Amino acid sequence: MTVYNFAAGPAMLPKEVMQLAQAEFTNYRDCGSGIMELSHRGKLFQPVIDHAEANVRELLNVSDDYAVLFIQGGASMQFAMLAMNLLNGGTADYVDTGVWSNKAAKEAKLFGNVNIVASSKETKYDHIPAQSEWKRTADAAYLHITSNNTVAGTQYKVLPKPTPGVPMIADMSSDIMSRVFDINDFGMIYAGAQKNLGPSGVALVILRKDLAARTDESKVPTMLRYSTYIENGSMFNTPPTFAIYMLALVTDWVKKQGGVAALEKINDAKAAYLYEFLENSTFFKSPVAPADRSRMNVVFRTPSDELDALFVKEAKENGLTDLKGHRLVGGCRASIYNAMPMEGVKALVEFMKKFELANK
Ligand SMILES: *Cc1c(COP(=O)(O)O)cnc(C)c1O
């Protein structure tokens, strides 16, 4: 049975990438050892991390004004690290659009003032607050957004523009490389790898280099300074070599698909197919405002919690796995990142139709 894995993260990776990693697993480039057994300072690893960086620069159009960094600790460590380096007792603006942006704001409070410019918490994060209603701080240290809300299933269809002089920072963990955006609108973006870029264990950070100078080096530990990663090519200490190797393979795959713009088209088609079915169903419903529906995490419900659970169970028996909603919100969620093929989405909709007929 073909299995389609709809997990939110760690999520499925392209089959081709998994097969290539398998082929090279114990014997990388005929050296007799696997990549994870090799020194990060050796001749074979340096080209891997260089290749990963070059792919990121090419795919996202990143100029030399920006550093491309690979940092352990996931997106969650960036919540604290970015504030530790860039806030310095000032005020940071946060848009509260979900569980993750809420956590990011909470960490930032340890290092300065946090102004919540807008929040959709009262309506269970079912939409992205309109930018016209945001109460921005004119001289904020930065503005922080979460481009795609993995748990609630919302996404900025159009990314905001920064206030002049205020760097915009985005947590793009769950939609990085799924759609085209202009990196030059951002002071920094970051993403845990395990949704669209590779296995867990590494976060991709793209930082405008001049911002690294804001760090107060007398207060921030060496391993938590962006400058340390910039000065040492992300190898001040031993980096997560295997995760970076996988990220290089996944970004090779993205290039082979035609790049981010080509994947965006496919992602649009996948999401449209699923949302159209939800719109026409009298059984399954999306709780998310139509204008803000995520193309990566499609959240939906049946008429009851019991049927939600039955759906998740029977879907799994039919090769459609990990459709349970986040433990905080319940219901069902289909994560359809870059690696999920259209066939997976079609198989899901076919099963939903059958389930609807049997349980209506
Ligand atoms: C998954 C996720 C995180 C958490 O990532 P970790 O790497 O586990 O810390 C943060 N933000 C968003 C938007 C996510 O989807």
DSSP string, 156-201: -SSPPPPPTTS-EEEE-TTTTTTS---GGG-SEEEEETTTTTSSSS
CATH superfamily of 259-359: Aspartate Aminotransferase, domain 1 (3.90.1150.10)
Mean pLDDT throughout 29-44?
Answer: 96
Q: How far out from the chain centre does Cα 320 lie? A: 22
pLDDT of residue 82: 98
Distance 124 CA to ligand 1 centre (A): 19
pLDDT band per the 50, 70, 90 thresholds, residue 243:
very high
pLDDT of residue 1: 86
pLDDT of residue 174: 98
Distance 339 CA to ligand 1 centre (A): 18
Nearest CA residue ID for atom 12, ligand 1: 173
Tell me: the pLDDT tens digits for 111-145? 999 999 999 999 999 999 999 999 999 999 999 99
pLDDT of residue 68: 98
- Please check whether the domain covering 15-256 is classified as CATH 3.40.640.10: yes
Nearest CA residue ID for atom 3, ligand 1: 75
Percent of the chain with pLDDT over 90: 98
Q: What are the residue ranges of CATH 3.40.640.10 in the chain? A: 15-256
153 close to 278: Cβ distance less than 8 angstroms: no
pLDDT of residue 336: 98
Mean pLDDT throughout 184-194?
Answer: 98
pLDDT of residue 88: 85
Dig out the tokens for 226 from the structure. 């962006």
Distance 8 CA to ligand 1 centre (A): 10
Distance 1 CA to ligand 1 centre (A): 31
State pTM to two decimals.
0.98
pLDDT band per the 50, 70, 90 thresholds, residue 328:
confident
Mean pLDDT throughout 196-212?
Answer: 98
Mean pLDDT throughout 71-94?
Answer: 97
pLDDT of residue 343: 98
pLDDT of residue 23: 97
Best of 173, 177, 327 for a ligand 1 pocket test (most atoms within 8 Å of beta carbon): 173
For residue 146, the ligand 1 atom closest to its alpha carbon is: 13
Q: How far out from the chain centre does Cα 27 lie? A: 31
Ligand 1, CB cutoff 6 Å, lining residues: 9, 74-76, 100, 146, 150, 171, 173-174, 192, 195
Mean pLDDT throughout 75-93?
Answer: 96
Residues with active-site annotation: 100, 171, 195
Q: What are the residue ranges of CATH 3.90.1150.10 in the chain? A: 259-359
pLDDT of residue 350: 98
What CA–CA distance (Å, rounded) separates 107 from 287? Answer: 29
pLDDT at 344 over 90: yes
Dig out the tokens for 101 from the structure. 């942006």
Mean pLDDT throughout 248-266?
Answer: 98
C-alpha to C-alpha distances, 91 to 136, 141, 214, 263, nearest whole angstrom = 11, 6, 14, 37
pLDDT of residue 107: 98
Bridge partners, 145 (sequence order): 170
When the pLDDT of each residue in the chain is averaged and rounded to a whole number, the result is 97
Q: Helix axis angle, 74-86 relative to 99-108, nearest 10°?
A: 40
